[in-house]
């Protein structure tokens, strides 16, 4: 049925059909594959930072916030800050989703980070502080950040502190900032568990 002359084109055709199927299978079913919105490997974070076209602002500290709402995402906060507060864009640099209006643990990068503009999130410290907001109301009884949110926050802060030379002591909750009068990021935000996680991840990210 097959002459020898037909075998090679037939094999090539088979390969052309099979190869995309194999690639698709690996992409979809690869056992260690984690959905990209649930993890921030060092390469992903570098990619986030590559999107910044201008010189990095000399940041000195990082302030953690909660949104004080059950749900939300960067677009919702951005609209709220523009329409209600009449700011030019969302006051935070990063927003970490809780699976309601964005992925659980998804890191959204705000325009103020992309343009390296000072934020509007912590009175008196905005010119020095990067603002990261976790979606959720952690002052509300029984509401805590998801584990995936905490991992994303730890990975993002580990990366930023190493990249910018910010000491761990300069990563604080909003209420712990000098002069702050707020409960943010809420009594259920596990600051005592967060700092050891951040320190462990910094060891992982540190170039060897
Ligand atoms: Zn706050």
- Tens-digit pLDDT profile for residues 21-77: 655 555 554 444 444 455 567 778 878 777 787 888 999 999 999 999 999 999 999
The mean pLDDT of 180-206, rounded to a whole number, is: 93
Taking the centre of ligand 1 as the mean of its atom positions, its distance from the CA of residue 184, in whole angstroms, is: 5
Taking the centre of ligand 1 as the mean of its atom positions, its distance from the CA of residue 153, in whole angstroms, is: 15
Of residues 45 and 117, more confidently modeled:
117
4: pLDDT strictly greater than 80: no
Taking the centre of ligand 1 as the mean of its atom positions, its distance from the CA of residue 158, in whole angstroms, is: 20
Taking the centre of ligand 1 as the mean of its atom positions, its distance from the CA of residue 173, in whole angstroms, is: 8
pLDDT of residue 30: 46
Residue 105 phi, psi (nearest 5): 85, 0
| Closest to 171 measured CA to CA, from 140, 128, 139 | 128
Taking the centre of ligand 1 as the mean of its atom positions, its distance from the CA of residue 203, in whole angstroms, is: 28
Taking the centre of ligand 1 as the mean of its atom positions, its distance from the CA of residue 183, in whole angstroms, is: 8
pLDDT of residue 22: 59
Burial of 66 (0-12, 13-18, 19+ CB in 10 A): buried
Sheet holding 61-66, edge to edge: 104-109, 94-98, 129-134, 61-66, 171-173
CA dist 189 and 173 (Å) reads: 9
Length of the chain: 208
Decide: helix, strand or coil at residue 74.
helix
Taking the centre of ligand 1 as the mean of its atom positions, its distance from the CA of residue 67, in whole angstroms, is: 7
pLDDT of residue 143: 96
- The per-residue pLDDT for range 122-141, each reduced to its tens digit, is 999 999 999 999 999 999 99
For the chain, what are the domain ranges? 1-33, 36-205
CA R_g for the chain:
22
Architecture of the domain whose range is 36-205: 3-Layer(aba) Sandwich (3.40)
Burial of 30 (0-12, 13-18, 19+ CB in 10 A): exposed
Q: Indicate the DSSP class of residue 55.
A: P
The mean pLDDT of 108-123, rounded to a whole number, is: 95
Taking the centre of ligand 1 as the mean of its atom positions, its distance from the CA of residue 177, in whole angstroms, is: 10
Average model confidence (pLDDT) across the chain: 87
Taking the centre of ligand 1 as the mean of its atom positions, its distance from the CA of residue 197, in whole angstroms, is: 21
- What are the C-alpha distances in Å from 172 to residues 95, 130, 132, 189? 16, 11, 10, 11
Decide: helix, strand or coil at residue 94.
strand
pLDDT of residue 21: 66
The mean pLDDT of 89-94, rounded to a whole number, is: 97
190 contacts 144 by C-beta, under 8 angstroms: yes
Taking the centre of ligand 1 as the mean of its atom positions, its distance from the CA of residue 90, in whole angstroms, is: 13
Decide: helix, strand or coil at residue 95.
strand
Taking the centre of ligand 1 as the mean of its atom positions, its distance from the CA of residue 81, in whole angstroms, is: 14
Taking the centre of ligand 1 as the mean of its atom positions, its distance from the CA of residue 122, in whole angstroms, is: 7
């Amino acid at each position: 049925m097959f002459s020898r002359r037909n075998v090679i084109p037939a094999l090539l055709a088979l390969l052309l059909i099979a190869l995309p199927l194999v690639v698709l299978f690996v992409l979809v079913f690869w056992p260690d594959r984690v959905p990209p919105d649930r993890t921030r490997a060092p390469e992903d974070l570098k990619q986030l930072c590559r999107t910044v076209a201008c010189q990095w602002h000399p940041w000195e500290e990082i302030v953690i916030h909660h949104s004080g709402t059950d749900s939300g995402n960067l677009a919702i906060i951005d609209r709220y800050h523009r329409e209600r507060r009449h700011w030019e864009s969302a006051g935070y640099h990063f927003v970490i989703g809780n699976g309601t209006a964005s992925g659980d643990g998804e890191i959204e990068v705000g325009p103020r980070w992309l343009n390296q503009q000072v934020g509007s999130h912590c009175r008196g410290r905005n010119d020095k502080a990067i603002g990261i907001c976790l979606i959720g109301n952690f002052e509300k009884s029984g509401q805590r950040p998801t584990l995936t949110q905490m991992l994303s926050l730890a990975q993002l802060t580990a990366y930023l502190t190493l990249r910018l030379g910010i000491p761990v002591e300069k990563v604080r909750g909003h209420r712990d900032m000098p002069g702050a009068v707020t409960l943010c990021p809420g009594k259920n935000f596990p600051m005592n568990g967060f700092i050891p996680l951040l320190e462990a991840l910094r060891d992982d990210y540190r170039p060897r």
